[in-house]
């Protein structure tokens, strides 16, 4: 009887300690599990972290899956969106990579993201404009020797960078894939535009802490409440961002983006003639419940690009998440693979 009482008391004390200490150890546990799972999935996809020194003295990082066989398939270059570092996007493209097993795949790390954090938080050089980020991509691809045609894919902001690269280097593009492409003001939703113009960065990708992260996931990226991650995973994701980036990093980044965004508010209109002349096949993947990019406006891209070579695919997804715990990338993988093989 005494031992039973002792055991019960011990369980009660342990439960109390867990309750008290959970705010401290759960984020660390969640962060560790996220890192382990991310590394496992990247390894499974055979994506390796690499870097090159550019001609301006900076280091560019990327993930690469080499094809070890003789193949005529074009390399695939992928450009992430704002706030999305290469390892996170590499995990999302696991399904697609399985469907293109012999193709060389490269995921570019955007300036100021992941391995390219601006420690001094100076976002002026090379800058945050579409032209500046496109120039970074050009410099990187030239260093890799990708001067002949390849397939180029961009997600969200990466979609506008990829599009800009295509009109600046049309002969280099075999096929262009745009996933939920972000063209501020012209394709973004009115609700998003109002939030952006109010400079309420904390409710966008400059979220800070678990509460704002959940708001970002559910209200903007399309995660359904039923698919919510366990609390310790959400706190782990928030802790991982704090580990990667200094305090207020993304707020300062957004401030600079805002300063440089005025020149691209009419990007599609100003480049309509060039976009209409692109001969490369274009696939646009749009989410019907996307809160950031209006899918009706994305469907109008068929009238911006060469209508004979532009294909629009609509899926029941948000800007990142889809129903039943899936993501835009998983839902669209088969259609993207078919397009790449066409």
DSSP 67-135: --S---PPPEEEE--TT--HHHHHHHTHHHHHHSTTS-EEEE--TTSGGG--TT---SSS-SSHHHHHH
Q: What is the pTM of this model?
A: 0.91
> Residue 287's domain is classified under what CATH number?
3.40.50.1820
Instruction: For residue 319, count other CB atoms closer than 10 A to its CB.
Output: 22
Q: Let me know if residue 318 belongs to a domain.
A: yes
CB 289 within 8 A of CB 318: yes
Least confident of 19-28, 95-104, 111-120, 151-160: 19-28
Q: Let me know if residue 134 belongs to a domain.
A: yes
The yes-or-no verdict on residue 15 having pLDDT over 70 is no
- With tokens 């715990």, the residue in question is 325
What's the pLDDT at 284? 98
Mean pLDDT on 220-241: 92
Distance CA(14)–CA(40), nearest Å, equals: 32
Q: Let me know if residue 89 belongs to a domain.
A: yes
Count of domains for the chain: 1
Counting every residue written for the chain, the total comes to 342
What's the pLDDT at 156? 97
- With tokens 């500046």, the residue in question is 132
What's the pLDDT at 11? 47
What's the pLDDT at 130? 95
The yes-or-no verdict on residue 154 having pLDDT over 50 is yes
What's the pLDDT at 8? 53
The yes-or-no verdict on residue 43 having pLDDT over 80 is yes
The yes-or-no verdict on residue 190 having pLDDT over 90 is yes
What's the pLDDT at 319? 98
| Averaged pLDDT of the chain | 90
Percent of the chain with pLDDT over 70: 91
Mean pLDDT on 319-338: 97
Q: Let me know if residue 149 belongs to a domain.
A: yes
What's the pLDDT at 17? 47
Query: Predicted confidence band at 14 (pLDDT cuts at 50, 70, 90)?
Result: very low
What's the pLDDT at 27? 78
Q: Let me know if residue 172 belongs to a domain.
A: yes
Mean pLDDT on 162-180: 97
Q: pLDDT tens digits, residue range 271-286?
A: 999 999 999 999 999 9
What's the pLDDT at 1? 45
Q: Let me know if residue 257 belongs to a domain.
A: no
What's the pLDDT at 232? 82
Range of the domain at 269: 47-200+265-341
What's the pLDDT at 24? 55
Q: pLDDT tens digits, residue range 294-304?
A: 999 999 999 99
Q: Let me know if residue 30 belongs to a domain.
A: no
Q: pLDDT tens digits, residue range 58-84?
A: 899 999 987 655 567 899 999 999 999
Distance CA(58)–CA(61), nearest Å, equals: 10
The yes-or-no verdict on residue 12 having pLDDT over 70 is no
Q: Let me know if residue 286 belongs to a domain.
A: yes
The yes-or-no verdict on residue 125 having pLDDT over 90 is no
Q: pLDDT tens digits, residue range 193-217?
A: 999 999 999 999 999 999 999 999 9
Helices then strands, each counted (H, E), the chain: 13, 8
Residues 6 or more apart from 307 whose CB is under 8 A from it? Answer: none
What's the pLDDT at 6? 55
């Amino acid at each position: 009887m005494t031992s039973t009482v002792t055991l019960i008391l011990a369980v009660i004390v342990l439960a109390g300690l867990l309750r008290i200490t959970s705010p401290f150890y759960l984020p660390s546990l969640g962060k560790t599990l996220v890192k382990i799972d991310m590394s496992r999935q990247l390894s499974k996809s055979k994506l390796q972290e690499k870097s090159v020194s550019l001609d301006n003295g900076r280091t560019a990082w990327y993930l690469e899956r080499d094809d070890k066989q003789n193949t005529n398939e074009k390399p695939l270059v992928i450009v992430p969106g704002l706030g999305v570092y290469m390892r996170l996007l590499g995990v999302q493209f696991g399904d697609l990579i399985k469907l293109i097993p012999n193709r060389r795949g490269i995921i570019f790390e955007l300036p100021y993201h992941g391995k390219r954090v601006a420690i001094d938080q100076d976002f002026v050089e090379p800058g945050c404009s579409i032209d500046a980020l496109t120039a970074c991509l050009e410099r990187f691809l030239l260093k890799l020797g990708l001067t002949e045609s390849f397939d180029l894919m961009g997600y969200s902001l990466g979609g506008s960078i990829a599009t800009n690269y295509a009109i600046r280097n049309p002969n280099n593009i075999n096929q262009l894939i745009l996933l939920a492409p972000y063209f501020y003001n012209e394709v973004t939703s009115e609700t998003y535009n109002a939030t952006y113009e109010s400079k309420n960065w904390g409710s966008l990708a400059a979220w800070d802490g678990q509460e704002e992260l959940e708001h970002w996931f559910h209200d903007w990226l399309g995660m359904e409440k039923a698919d919510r991650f366990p609390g310790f995973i959400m706190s782990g994701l928030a802790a991982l961002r704090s580990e990667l980036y200094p305090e207020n990093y993304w707020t300062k980044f957004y401030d600079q983006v805002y300063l440089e965004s005025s020149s691209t508010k009419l990007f599609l209109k100003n480049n309509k003639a060039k976009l209409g002349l692109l001969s490369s096949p274009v696939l646009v993947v749009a989410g019907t419940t996307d809160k950031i990019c209006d899918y009706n406006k994305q469907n109008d891209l068929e009238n911006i690009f060469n209508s004979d070579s532009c294909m629009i695919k609509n899926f029941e997804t948000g800007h990142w998440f889809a129903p039943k715990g899936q993501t835009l990338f998983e839902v669209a993988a088969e259609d993207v693979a078919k397009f790449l093989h066409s």
